[in-house]
């Protein structure tokens, strides 16, 4: 962000200049996701929540702006099949859409402008660009962060079936979704190395709202055994209750918010690519850990969990503190890294986490 008073450029998402203490209002957040990720609905909920908290916000849908430009110029394009248009037409419509967004930013400089866009498409078998880097040159000093929304693969597939996209196979969607996430990281680098976050579509809108307006709030990854307690309703209910209490004072990334791997036990077409889905799930969960300040481990009862062990190992190797709760004493294996803090008392564990990680939810109010 660019301080309007002293001109300091800060690559972190800050609402107060660390140099002169001036308030930094406005800015831009790019939100990406492949077609069918439900980003438009999610950002509508984020904007509604932001307005309730007195944040000034505007959401810009690049695709919708392109459609309006095509309609105004009487371009003879069937919008459902816009990706069949020539690359020249697509580049022109995108440029016009971004010119419109730039004008809105100049008219409302103290608003936070959320830009909903796609970075890539797999309309045909090959990957095509959905965005040109030069379009963000004027935005770079004002970009706060980038967020990539990941939706469950079967939900994306069902959505596309009802459109001109038709039925797409799960592996194709898996590859496309990961490519969009990678491109989001690359564009974050182009924007000066600002932070880039991956957020599951099923996470509450408060997650994105806090990432934008409250960067001072700590972020944690909630690690817990999944396979061993898959059919234990009480244990799963206990974890969800704990997660919701945790969200009272930190941002929580919940691995259960994406159900891809669970569906490999239920759908034949996903079982075929169980290995690929499993690898993508592990990589995504490690990514969640990388974008957090700490990992919070919760065992509702003593069970073995290779997944939790792997996540603790990744956190340990990334220098992230590990907090662990289990009502019974765990048997540590020789290759499992010990936690920095352990507890067998649930209420005491929450108090510890609040003391170590909690902060007054603040941030500059727009």
CATH hierarchy code of domain 12-216: 3.40.50.300
CATH hierarchy code of domain 218-359: 3.40.50.450
pLDDT at residue 364, as a whole number: 41
The b-or-e profile of 89-107 (16+ CB within 10 A means b, else e) is ebebbbebbbebbeeebee
Q: Is 181 helix (H, G, I), strand (E, B) or coil?
A: helix
Phi, psi of 150 (to 5 degrees): -110, 125
Q: What is the pLDDT of residues 134-164, one digit of tens each?
A: 999 989 999 999 999 999 999 999 999 999 9
Q: Mean pLDDT across the stretch 272-283?
A: 96
pLDDT at residue 216, as a whole number: 94
Q: What is the pLDDT of residues 21-80, one digit of tens each?
A: 999 999 999 999 999 999 999 999 999 999 999 999 999 999 999 999 998 877 767 889
Q: Mean pLDDT across the stretch 119-124?
A: 96
Minimal CA–CA distance to 20: which of 32, 38, 42, 2?
2
Q: Mean pLDDT across the stretch 341-361?
A: 89
Residue 365: pLDDT above 70?
A: no
Q: Do domains 12-216 and 218-359 have the same CATH topology?
A: yes
Minimal CA–CA distance to 208: which of 45, 366, 10?
45
pLDDT at residue 298, as a whole number: 97
pLDDT category at 82 given cuts 50, 70, 90 is very high
Cβ atoms 187, 117 nearer than 8 A? no
Distance from C-alpha of 345 to C-alpha of 202, rounded to nearest angstrom: 30
CA atoms within 13 A on the CB side of 80: 7
pLDDT at residue 332, as a whole number: 67
Domains of the chain: which residue ranges?
A: 12-216, 218-359
pLDDT at residue 177, as a whole number: 98
Distance from C-alpha of 187 to C-alpha of 134, rounded to nearest angstrom: 11
pLDDT category at 304 given cuts 50, 70, 90 is confident
Does the global pTM surpass 0.85? yes
Average pLDDT, whole number, for the chain? 93
Minimal CA–CA distance to 125: which of 173, 78, 80, 61?
173
Q: What is the pLDDT of residues 188-238, one digit of tens each?
A: 999 999 999 999 999 999 999 999 999 999 999 999 999 888 889 999 999
pLDDT at residue 76, as a whole number: 66
Q: How many residues does the chain have?
A: 366
Beta-carbon contacts of 72 under 8 Å, excluding residues fewer than 6 positions away, are none
Cβ atoms 57, 112 nearer than 8 A? yes
């Amino acid at each position: 962000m660019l301080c309007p008073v002293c001109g300091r450029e800060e690559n972190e998402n800050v609402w107060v200049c660390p140099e002169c203490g001036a308030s930094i209002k406005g800015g831009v957040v790019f939100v990406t996701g492949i077609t069918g990720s439900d980003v438009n609905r999610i950002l509508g909920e984020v904007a509604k929540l932001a307005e309730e908290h007195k944040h000034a916000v505007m959401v810009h849908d690049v695709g919708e702006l392109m459609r309006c430009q095509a309609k105004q110029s009487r371009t003879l394009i069937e919008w459902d099949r816009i990706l069949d248009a020539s690359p020249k037409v697509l580049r022109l419509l995108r440029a016009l859409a971004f010119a419109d967004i730039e004008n809105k930013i100049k008219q409302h400089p103290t608003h936070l402008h959320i830009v909903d866009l796609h970075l890539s498409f797999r309309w045909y078998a090959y990957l095509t660009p959905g965005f040109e880097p030069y379009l963000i040159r004027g935005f770079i000093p004002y970009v706060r962060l980038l967020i990539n929304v990941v939706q469950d693969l079967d939900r994306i597939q069902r959505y596309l079936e009802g459109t001109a996209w038709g039925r797409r196979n799960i592996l194709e969607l898996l590859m496309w979704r990961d490519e969009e996430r990678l491109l989001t990281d690359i564009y974050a680098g182009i924007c000066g190395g600002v932070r880039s976050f991956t957020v599951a579509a099923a996470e509450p809108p408060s997650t994105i709202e806090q990432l934008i307006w409250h960067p001072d709030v700590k972020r944690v990854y909630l690690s817990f055994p999944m396979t061993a307690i898959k059919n234990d309703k009480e244990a799963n209910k206990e974890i969800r209750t704990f997660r919701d209490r945790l969200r009272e004072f930190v941002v929580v990334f919940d691995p259960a918010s994406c159900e891809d791997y669970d569906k490999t036990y239920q759908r034949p077409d996903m079982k075929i690519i169980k290995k690929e889905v499993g690898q993508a799930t592990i990589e995504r969960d490690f990514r969640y850990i990388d974008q957090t300040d700490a990992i919070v481990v919760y065992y509702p009862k003593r069970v073995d969990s290779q997944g939790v062990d792997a996540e603790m190992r990744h956190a340990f190797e990334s220098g992230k503190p590990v907090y662990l709760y289990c009502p019974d004493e765990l048997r540590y294996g020789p290759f499992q890294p010990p936690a920095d803090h352990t507890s067998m008392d649930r209420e005491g564990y929450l108090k510890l986490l609040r003391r170590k990680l909690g902060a007054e939810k603040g941030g500059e109010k727009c």
